[in-house]
Structure formats: C-alpha cells, structure tokens
Chain A
C-alpha cells in the first residue's frame, strides 16, 4: 500500500551554519524521484510537532541507494530533524509534487539558486551537466559548491558580502550571462525577491523560466489547499494554486509575483 515509509538516516551533518545535509537510505525512492520534488517528513518523536515538513530532494546517490536532502534549521520541526542520528528511523512521505522539466532537447540552460534554494538544484545540475551554467548566490558562507562542481563544469558564485566570487546578487551574474549566451531555459530556486528578479530577467530576454516556490504546508498532497500561491488562470485572472501538488515548480510566467 502506498503511504508513509520509515527510512533510515545514513548521515545527518551540518555543512554550514544552520544548514544540514541528510542522507536517507532507500533504493526505490532513488529510482523514481525527480529534481524539484520534495519529501514530507514527520519531524517529531511521537505527536508533536504535528505537521510534516516539506524538504526538497537535493540529489540522489544511486550507487548507495540514497537520497540526500539539504535543509536549514528554522523552527521546531527542522530542529528535531537536525537531532536525528545515523541509524535513526524517519517517517517520510513522497516524493511529492512536480519536478523541474528534464528536457534532452535543451542545449544551453542556466540554473540559479539563492541560499538554501541551491539545495533543490543539485540533482538538476547533474542532469544538465556541461549544458548548464550554474549560478549560486549566498549571503556569506557558501555550501554545496563541491557537489555542484562535480556535476557541472561551469559554476559561478556570488556572495552578498563579497567573500567568495562575485560581490553582489546572483541575479547580476544571470543578467550578464543571458545577454552573452542564448539560453533554452532557466531553472531557479531561492528567496522570493530573487525569484521575482530572475523571472523579470527571463521575460525581458524572452527565455523560459521555471521556479520552485516555497510555502507553509499542511497535507503536502493537494487536499487541504493550505499552501496556496497566487497564479494566473487561463484568462489572466488571479487564482490560487497548490504549491505541493500543482508545484512546487511553476512556469515563472504563471506566478503573480506582486501578490
């Protein structure tokens, strides 16, 4: 029967301040999961915290039959998650939601991540490999760069404090790149202001763009309508779509960025 699975924690370690890398063992999951999909994880011992927490796939380790999730400790749920040790069981639902488009026809793509939003893009970077330019933006401390570099030869870094790579916003790098290089698609995940800028840059340069959105979630499967985001309906009016089921990946032109 389809339902939550109990998976074993292989490793759960901090990779930067407040950022953890969680490896879970599960052969079947590893096969079916798409970049951009998420797992809905019970983050409490017995009952509380009550609701599951959605954590995106970062990348798969197919040889080891493991999926790797990278998350930021933000509240009680992720606090609990960060306390799990190798061998501990975790109650996991998923993979859930829509993924990023995997398209063999695309010759050149850009992958743009900001902060913890870089995590869901690592698997995608592996799929597009040398067809992708990867842009990773951080406030200060960097993470997951090695994982990105192993998958794609062209990784460009921006930090807001200028400590690594370009000093400024990652969207500045994208803007420069999009003027120099014809792109078939841009994939992005990160804070909403960053995504809004990425969407605008893509629109102004007539390049398609897929964004992965975040929202507080309850059911994670599309039933409760709790994790809505404003999108455009077929007549251009406002509608609320489900981040968990209709997304988390949306065409950036569908999103009402000012709502």
Chain B
C-alpha cells in the first residue's frame, strides 16, 4: 500500500494519478493498450478529433531533430462520430479515464463537437486551439486572447464536462492567453503544444516535411515548456496540466514543482512504450523520498 496519495483533482475530475498521455501521441489507446493496462494512467488524452474525418498531411510527416522531433501529421482522424461509436466504447471497456481533444474550423464546430461529447462517457474535453499543422480554418484561435476567451465561453455554455484549454507556445505572451481561457470559463489549461518549426534537406534543397512546417516536441522544448508552465501557474487560479519534452519521472517532477497539477507524456511514448507507467512509479518514489504524503502537496512546491 502506497503511503503517497497519488490522486489529483482537476476541476472536479479526480484522476488516480497525475500522468496522462499527450494528444496525438497515443492514438485511441489501442496500440499502447497492448503494453500495459490503460487503467493505470491518470487519463488517456486521445488523438485530436475534428467534426468530419481528416486524411492528414502528405508524408514525410516526421523527422528527428537535435534532442527532439518534428511532426506534421495534420490531424488525421476518423471524425468525432466514429470516435463516439467505435473508439470510445473500446477505451471505456478497458477502464480508461478518457479525455477527448477537439479542433474546430469555427466556434460553431467546437460547439457541435462539444454537444456530442457532452452526452458521452468522456471525462473531460481538451480544446486544441492551435494545431500548428493545419492551414485551413481561417483563424488560429489560440494566438489571440479575445478569440480564446470567446471560443472557451461558447464551448462552456454547451458543455456538461470539464473543459481544458490547450495553449500554443507560438505566441508573444502565453500568460495573456491563459488568462483569457480562465476568464472564458475554462476549467483548466494544458501547455505546451508543439513549437512551430522546420527542417531542410540541403542535398535536395527541399523542406524535409511534406507540409514544410511541423511541430517540434521532445526534450528540446522542455526548458521552454517549464518556463511557460511556471509563468502560467503563477498567473491563473485554474489547474495547469504541464507537458513538453517529458521523457522520464524527473522531467515530470520538474513540471509538478513548477506548478502543474498533472502532466502529459507525449514523444516519450515513441521511445519507450512503458514511459507513462514508469513515470507514475518514479513520481511516487520521489514523493516518498522527499517526504510528501500527496502529489497535490508537490504542486508548485518550487522553493
């Protein structure tokens, strides 16, 4: 029996531990469910959903870069209805706590998806306001505070579920965006999404990615992510979910100390399929060693 209370409360949603998966790195849980019991995770944040199915961007979609990688998947997904009909029941059968992640081309689209998800078994919904790999949609919601406020407020109006607003690091002042999400009624913020980036093949003189630009993730972004989590946690009253380059439990502990109530593991899944469960164990071990009786006591415990 553990002496550490690993559970955390995110806007009324009680997670058994603070470790979730980062959207887009974990599919709908099917693949990694072969490696361990998905019930062990605080939550599974599924692949980003759109109203209609999306084919995604042309390959190549990934490339390794120093201490990280780029991806330009472009929200390939089967659409929210397919998710509700096929993928969600499978995940719930496995006993997972499921958080949906949605991207809309308009405020109305976010609301339409939210209404459908509200009646489902998902525990919460994360709003992706800033996918770096999708051109259409007209507006990049995530980079303008007034739009972040507006979409959050409208989505909250049609939502019975906690709403997590995922923030883009590709902004001048992330605190301003986080405050707008909180003012709009967001129940939590999660950060950071990937950093807009590119790579070039000097032999072909072409961009490496089929989409030219992609999102940088992995250890390379961790110091930026930590700084942003620290800044945002100091500025908003709602819970912060931290992510960006977490490879092991030490990284996860850093985010918790910086003020994150929960953390998400993304790129690390690709390196080690067991990373999330090893991170849960590592956080517990750290808490015991440092004399914390609960993870919640560790949140923001930076001296």
Contacts and interface: CB of A to CB of B under 8 A. Distances in A.
A17 to B, nearest CB: 19
Given A224-B73, A228-B76, A51 B56 contact: no
B270 A228 contact: no
A225 interface: yes
Instruction: Kindly name the residue among A218, A229, A230 whose own CB sees the greatest number of chain B CB atoms within 10 A.
Output: A218
Interface of B (DSSP majority class): loop
A28 interface: no
Residue among B30, B31, B60 with the highest chain A CB neighbour number at 10 A: B31
Interface residues of B, number: 37
Contacts of A215: 59-60
B61 A228 contact: yes
A218 B59 CA distance: 13
Contact of B67 (A42, A50, A216): A50
B31 A228 contact: no
B68 A50 contact: yes
Nearest to B36: A1
A49 interface: yes
A222 B76 CA distance: 13
Contacts of A77: 64
Contacts of A229: 59
A213 to B, nearest CB: 10
A87 B35 CA distance: 27
A216 B31 contact: no
A238 interface: yes
A52 B270 contact: yes
Given A50-B219, A238-B55, A223 B25 contact: yes
A38 to B, nearest CB: 15
B194 to A, nearest CB: 12
Contacts of A226: 61-62, 71, 73
A245 B67 CA distance: 25
B295 to A, nearest CB: 24
Nearest to A42: B271
A114 to B, nearest CB: 20
Given A218-B69, A240-B76, A93 B62 contact: no
B63 interface: yes
Nearest to B71: A226
B219 A230 contact: no
A47 interface: yes
Given A51-B69, A219-B31, A228 B271 contact: no
B118 interface: no
Contacts of A47: 67, 219, 247
Given A226-B62, A259-B58, A218 B71 contact: yes
A221 B31 contact: yes
Given A216-B62, A224-B24, A225-B73, A3 B271 contact: no
Give the bracket for the number of chain A residues in contact with chain B: 20 to 34
A240 B272 contact: no
B204 to A, nearest CB: 14
A222 B71 contact: no
A148 interface: no
A126 to B, nearest CB: 29
Given A2-B35, A47-B219, A218-B62, A228 B273 contact: no
B125 to A, nearest CB: 21
Contacts of B36: 1-3
B79 interface: no
Given A50-B69, A228-B76, A220 B61 contact: no
Interface string B247-271: 1000000000000000000010111
Interface string B215-253: 000110000000000000000000000000001000000
B56 A93 contact: no
Contacts of A239: 55
A24 interface: no
Q: Which of A48, A225, A229, A238 has the most CB of B within 10 A?
A: A225
Interface in B259-290: 267, 269-274
B43 to A, nearest CB: 16
Contacts of B136: none
B27 interface: yes
A259 B32 CA distance: 30
- Max count, chain B CB within 10 A of own CB: residue among A220, A221, A226: A226
A45 interface: no
Contact of B31 (A52, A218, A222, A240): A222
A186 interface: no
Which of B27, B47, B219, B270 counts the most A-chain CB atoms under 10 A from its CB? B270
Given A216-B60, A216-B62, 7 more contacts: A47-B67, A50-B219, A52-B270, A225-B56, A225-B73, A228-B76, A240-B59
Interface of A: 1-4, 42, 47-52, 77, 93, 215-230, 238-240, 245, 259
Interface of B: 24-27, 30-32, 34-36, 47, 55-56, 58-64, 66-69, 71, 73, 76, 218-219, 247, 267, 269-274
5 contacts: A2-B34, A51-B271, A215-B60, A230-B58, A259-B58
